[in-house]
Amino acid sequence: MVERKQGLYLKVQQDGPIALDAELACEPGEVLALVGPSGSGKSTLLRCIAGLYSPEQGRIQCDGESWFDSHTRHFVPTAKRRIGMVFQHYALFPHLNALENIMEAMRELPPEQRRNRAHALIERVHLNGLAQRRPHELSGGQQQRVAVARALAREPKVLLLDEPFSAVDRATRESLYNELAELRRELRMPVVLVTHDLDEATLLADRMCILAAGRTLQEGPPDQLMQAPATTEVARLVGMRNVFAGRVIEHTTAYSLLDWRGQVLKVSAQPQWPVGQVVGWGLPTSDVLLMPQKHEPGEMDNTVLVEIERLLSLGEHIRALLRSGDDLIAMHVPRHLAQRYELAEGQQIRIRLRGETIHLMSQTATSKQEPLDA
């Protein structure tokens, strides 16, 4: 990753007490989501950016200004970094009203200028008429808007959001998502969002950075990470349920062939993997297809005989866990189709794996991390 003169750049390393080996960048006007399970280092990286934690090695710069460089022992304290930060629980002063909470972030300015700017921010975050209310008189969503306004009061160079939507209900969250998208277009500053919610990250972020145990595993646009994870570890973390191991046996210009436990799978051409290499492979549950009962083996590619191990009702769909040797394949079936086929646990059925959506990736050690919330 190349350092950038504009926006935010971070590269930090240390062995302990909190292990870190992370690199990330965020352009002005861009939202970068840091996602990963508990203990992955998301909040620690946010604290590094804010100057609340100093790693052993690395450098941090924002808008061309160096905030931290271990080589030159350069460290800019938090008060001089011009960062705006919104915490999970907002950290508003309970004895101050909304306007005063915002003004508190601008104590270096003359009183009249502080008041005028605070009123402008109240209007920007749609809190007109609520300036005199104290935090306990505001809803969760309104408190969150006050926290955002306070974070913007110092005209920061970067906005840091530490799981800011987790304490509000779903309806309020949807409204706040829209407001953040609107603010992002106006502000033209890097926005770093910490979340464990994949849906939230894919909805709000221009790019995602997947973290585990303090390491950057993969960074890129949300669609790319969800559809083409670089490793089986990333695949499991982003919730890909069907992740298995296979061996590349042949490439043609049109397709590649994969040996999966003695069965040959025809997949989209992915010649970057050498013949003979063991790889991970995965596909979405939506691309595991139930075959007609009268289907004859050999009529189509990638058909597999499986046994239904478990059926789980999910509203209009049924999630089926299908046993094939030592592997379990997840499939979603519309409820009406499950009823027509009279699917039952213990039943043998034939399925088809859509080869054009099978993605090959590096095989990593089986991760004990749970998938992120989706």
Give pLDDT tens digits along the chain (374 positions): 555 568 999 999 999 888 999 999 999 989 999 999 888 999 999 999 999 999 999 999 999 999 999 999 999 999 899 999 988 777 889 999 999 999 998 988 898 999 999 999 999 888 999 999 999 999 888 898 899 999 999 889 999 998 877 767 777 778 788 878 877 778 789 999 998 888 889 988 999 999 999 999 999 999 999 999 999 999 999 989 999 999 999 999 999 999 999 999 999 999 999 999 999 999 999 999 999 877 665 568 899 999 999 999 988 999 999 999 999 999 999 999 999 999 999 999 999 999 999 999 999 864 445 556 55
pLDDT of residue 6: 82
pLDDT of residue 209: 95
> What is the location of CATH 2.40.50.100 in the chain?
232-361
> What is the location of CATH 3.40.50.300 in the chain?
8-227
pLDDT of residue 3: 55
Which amino acid, residue 85?
M
Cis link prior to 37 (omega < 30° from 0)? no
Q: Token match 């106006």: residue?
A: 186
Cβ proximity of 355 and 300 under 8 Å: no
Report d(CA 14, CA 36) in Å as an integer: 19
In the CATH hierarchy, which fold is given to the domain comprising 232-361? OB fold (Dihydrolipoamide Acetyltransferase, E2P) (2.40.50)
pLDDT of residue 367: 45
pLDDT of residue 126: 87
Q: Rounded to 5 degrees, what are φ and ψ at 314?
A: -130, 65
pLDDT of residue 296: 63
What is this structure's pTM?
Answer: 0.85
- The CATH architecture one would assign to domain 8-227 is 3-Layer(aba) Sandwich (3.40)
In b/e form, how buried is each residue of 81-120, taking b as 16+ CB within 10 angstroms? bbbbbbbbebebeeeebbbbbbbebbeebeeeebbebbee
> What is the pairing mode between strands 20-26 and 303-314?
unpaired
pLDDT of residue 368: 46
